[in-house]
Amino acid sequence: MNADTQKFSSLPPEAAEPKAAAGAFPIWVIVALAVVAYFGTVKFDESDGGFSAQVFAPYVSTKQLEDFLPKDPERIAFLEGRKLYSQNCAACHQASGLGSPGQFPPLAGSDWVKTEGPNRIIRLVLHGIQGPIKVNGLDFNNAMVPWKDNMTDQQIASVISYVRRNKDWNHTFSAVTPDQVKKIRDTEKSRTAPWSAEELLKLSDK
Amino acid sequence: MSLSTQTESRANAPAASAEVDASCRAPVLFLFTSALLWLVASGSLGLIASLKMHQPLLLVRGAELTYGRILAASSNAFLFGFAAQAILGVTLWMLARLGGTPLVRPIVALLGAIIWNLAVTVGVGGILAGDSSGYEGFEFPSYAVPALLTAYTAIALCAVATYLQRRERDSYVSQWYLLAGLFALPWAYLTVHSLLLINPVRGVAQAAINAWAGAVLREIWLGGAALAVIFYLVPKLLNRPLYSRGYAQIGFWMLLVLGGWTGLHSGAPLPLWMVRMSSFASLLMIFPLFVVAWNLHVTAGGQRVFGADCRVLAFAGSGLVFYLLATLVMAINPLISEAVQFTYYSAAVKHIAFYGAFSMAMFAAIYHIVPRLADADWPCANPMKWHHKLAVAGVMLVALPLAFAGWQQWMGLLDPSADFNQISRTAMRAYRITTIGEILWLASSLLLVVNLVKLLASRFCPCAALASCTAESNGGAR
């Protein structure tokens, strides 16, 4: 190309500008790439620390890091209680613990929770409650299901402790132990019907 | 109807190469000449830094010439004095040539190049005066950055406008790499500038950003420019089409996607997933590496590229070999980086990438392009041959002793009872050899500068009869 201009140039003529041909592309390169990418991702997934910004070498998972944290039984029970609450209780009583006006009574600041002992609230959770109930001066009339067959003593203790000691709700009442739950479960073994508010109020709160 | 079609096709026909070269003459010759002067400046500073490593009493007059400032000044003069201008020169010329269109607004590019040189001077002076930003590869003080950005924008706009006005609609591999590099540099630089200097992010994110930006410069900007030159020169000088466009595409896109992720060392003080991701990306870089090598191998069709008789091709071939070597070594780096992370080994790899792969490719481009712009062949063939030999020897004599010193440090550090000072002293024995390498490198750059000055003088200064050696064919213009 451009023979006219090259004639007057002091440089020897040059080849045309390069072009790319459509040379065959071997499929095995793609296959090899896919294989390496697959095993690389698997390996990466095993050792990426779960994309956590807190995992640094030589540790490989957040679990390893948690094992280094000091163990606080009350904290662990609180976290378990929070989890159980959000799974089982928050649907009616809400995550805020305020319930729904006219339908589900509040737990946060509730005079049924703020008792000195957990005597009534354990029974209430174990067997459920039905009929009219007065909470903080407001009337409710609804039913709460029994939890005795769905939760262990440990779980009921955790969830009630969460409700009674939740700092967000300004609750600082005594925690509930699994032994307390077991004791009441054994005492009320024969009971199948839900409680009524009237029955519970006859019992001592301790 | 047929008449108008004919006129149109004539207007859109690719411009004659002489016309393209004439439009590029002023800005590209200016960019190349100043790039080579900065290369000599960077080499001189690098030599002083290398000497001061084992002769600490040399030049101890003031803070300006302390090791830390000299080394940063040398590497920034290399990156933004030499590399940036060489790449911009290649970009302007190649986008115009491959697009078959004259350069758009050469005067704007020339003005940009002049401002760029002033800004780099201010930046290097600022580093020597103690205003370094402290982030590796981006040490220029903040006050140099606005002028750098302005100058770069001017030149880059000319390049992009030239590409958009191309009459050859099908783009070629070299154009992809050059355009990617054109955007990669300001992207990385502005990220560093805004997230580390103007409004600094906190904690480990700083180290991660600096590492990412460094990788973008190394892999996409410098590596991409080297590949652009090699992909242009090998088919051009052998007069054969590039074997496969598909191969080239996968190599290009993998480099673009993976390039910025590479280069974090295992054990770096960063969250584990970043380090692992980087190791994975480094490993995958073997694919673009293989694809590039295979594509060029089939293109050459048995003709020699590395060690070719044609000097330009020999430079391009050396650049390719160093590029493959550096990328391969970086790909296996995650396996050994826990052992070599605090040693001279990483400096050796970086030297091969910057001075071996990138610089050799740029020399090939300069040797190929300058005679076309000046419309005169190189006056002397011998300096070209010696430049090649000295430059290769210079790179090897820096990289090999550094790698050996790194290996000695590695072995020493494995022994918990070893005295750290003793380890450093042992490694220093090999380090002294790098000074010889730096001298050879500086000498080789001077040969190119002298050759270029002779060529320009004989061509543009009528009174100078400097072209004394016989103009035997040396392959520069072939």
B135: tokens are 């982030």
Return the pLDDT at B2: 45
Q: Give the C-alpha separation, A204 to A188, whole Å.
A: 15
* Per-residue pLDDT tens over the stretch B51-69: 998 888 888 778 888 899 9
Q: Give the C-alpha separation, B327 to B283, whole Å.
A: 10
Return the pLDDT at A10: 66
Return the pLDDT at B172: 94
B:167-226 residues touching chain A, CB 8 A cutoff? 168, 170, 172-174
B301: tokens are 């069709």
Return the pLDDT at B477: 47
Contact residues for B23 (Cβ-Cβ < 8 A; gap 6+): B96, B102, B103, B106
CB atoms B241 and A21 under 8 Å: yes
Average pLDDT over residues B97-109: 93
Residue predicted with more confidence, A101 or B28: B28
- Is residue B475 pLDDT above 60, yes or no? no
Decide if B73 contacts B126 (C-beta within 8 A).
no
Q: How confident is the model at residue B463 (pLDDT cuts 50, 70, 90)?
A: low
Name residue, tokens 């955790």: A158
Could you give the domains of chain B? 16-170 (1.20.120), 173-472 (1.20.210.10)
Average pLDDT over residues B325-341: 83
CB atoms B377 and A10 under 8 Å: yes
Return the pLDDT at B343: 85
Give the closest of A4, A5, A60 to B272, CB-based. A60
pTM of structure: 0.79
Surface-to-core class of residue B448, CB atoms within 10 Å of its CB (0-12 exposed, 13-18 middle, 19+ buried):
buried
Q: Give the C-alpha separation, A106 to A96, whole Å.
A: 9
Q: Give the C-alpha separation, B1 to B11, whole Å.
A: 16
Q: CA nearest B159: which of B133, B185, B140?
A: B185
At residue B53, φ and ψ (nearest 5 deg) are -60, -40
B92: tokens are 């302007």
Helices in B270-310 by DSSP H: which ranges? 272-284, 286-300
Average pLDDT over residues B327-337: 84
Nearest residue of chain B to residue A41 (CA atoms): B280
Contacts of B236 in chain A (CB under 8 A): 14-15, 17-18
B:40-79 residues touching chain A, CB 8 A cutoff? none
Could you give the domains of chain A? 73-202 (1.10.760.10)
Q: Give the C-alpha separation, B209 to B221, whole Å.
A: 16
* Per-residue pLDDT tens over the stretch B446-460: 999 999 999 998 887
Return the pLDDT at B179: 96
* Per-residue pLDDT tens over the stretch A90-149: 888 988 888 888 889 998 888 888 888 888 889 989 899 988 898 888 889 888 989 888
Residue B199 CB neighbours (<10 A): 8
CB atoms A48 and B272 under 8 Å: yes
Give residue A193's Cα distance to chain centre.
Answer: 32
Nearest residue of chain A to residue B291 (CA atoms): A29
Contacts of A17 in chain B (CB under 8 A): 97-98, 100, 168, 172, 236
Q: How confident is the model at residue B462 (pLDDT cuts 50, 70, 90)?
A: low
Question: Is the Cα torsion angle B412, B417, B420, B422 positive or negative in sign?
Answer: negative
Contacts of B19 in chain A (CB under 8 A): 5
* Per-residue pLDDT tens over the stretch B418-427: 888 888 888 8
Decide if A199 contacts A109 (C-beta within 8 A).
no
Nearest residue of chain B to residue A24 (CA atoms): B244
The amino acid occupying position B445 is: S
Q: Give the C-alpha separation, A111 to A95, whole Å.
A: 18
Name residue, tokens 């807190």: A54
Contacts of B372 in chain A (CB under 8 A): 11, 14
B:417-436 residues touching chain A, CB 8 A cutoff? none
B257: contact with A, CB 8 A cutoff: no
CB atoms A12 and B473 under 8 Å: yes
Give the closest of A11, A43, A54 to B377, CB-based. A11
Residue A163 CB neighbours (<10 A): 25
Decide if B99 contacts B175 (C-beta within 8 A).
yes
The amino acid occupying position B427 is: A
* Per-residue pLDDT tens over the stretch B180-211: 999 999 999 999 999 998 889 988 888 889 98
CB atoms B284 and A20 under 8 Å: no
Give the closest of B241, B246, B271 to A53, CB-based. B271
Return the pLDDT at A2: 41
* Per-residue pLDDT tens over the stretch A158-181: 999 999 988 888 888 888 888 889
CB atoms B372 and A11 under 8 Å: yes
* CA atoms within 13 A of residue A98's CA, in its CB half-sphere: 4
B386: contact with A, CB 8 A cutoff: no
CB atoms B242 and A55 under 8 Å: no
B:307-346 residues touching chain A, CB 8 A cutoff? none
* Per-residue pLDDT tens over the stretch B393-425: 999 999 999 999 988 888 888 888 888 888 888
CA distance B212 to chain A (A): 17
CA distance A205 to chain B (A): 52
- Is residue B97 pLDDT above 50, yes or no? yes
State the DSSP H helix or E strand holding residue B418, giving kind and residue range, or none if neither: none
Pick the residue of B232, B272, B273, B284 with the most A CBs within 10 A to test the interface with A by mutation: B272
Nearest residue of chain A to residue B15 (CA atoms): A2
Surface-to-core class of residue B90, CB atoms within 10 Å of its CB (0-12 exposed, 13-18 middle, 19+ buried):
buried
The amino acid occupying position B426 is: T
| Per-position b or e across B399-411, b if 16+ CB within 10 A of its CB | bbbbbbbbbbbbe
Q: Give the C-alpha separation, B312 to B367, whole Å.
A: 6
How large is the angle between the packed helices B223-238 and B245-258, nearest 10 degrees?
170
CA distance A76 to chain B (A): 27
* Per-residue pLDDT tens over the stretch A31-61: 998 999 999 899 888 888 888 888 888 888 8
Q: CA nearest B77: which of B32, B28, B40, B132?
A: B40
CA distance B17 to chain A (A): 7
Pick the residue of B101, B202, B273 with the most A CBs within 10 A to test the interface with A by mutation: B273
Contacts of A56 in chain B (CB under 8 A): 269-272
Q: Give the C-alpha separation, B23 to B130, whole Å.
A: 41
Q: Give the C-alpha separation, B181 to B162, whole Å.
A: 16
Average pLDDT over residues A2-24: 69
3-state secondary structure of A105: coil
Q: CA nearest A175: which of A41, A33, A73?
A: A73
In terms of average pLDDT, the best of A198-202, B75-79, B264-268 is B75-79
Residue predicted with more confidence, A75 or A35: A35
Nearest residue of chain B to residue A18 (CA atoms): B236
CB atoms B287 and A60 under 8 Å: no
* Per-residue pLDDT tens over the stretch B111-162: 999 999 999 999 999 999 999 998 888 999 999 999 999 999 999 999 999 9
CB atoms B239 and A53 under 8 Å: no
Q: Give the C-alpha separation, A81 to A161, whole Å.
A: 7
Average pLDDT over residues B165-177: 92
Average pLDDT over residues B278-305: 89
Q: Give the C-alpha separation, A136 to A132, whole Å.
A: 13
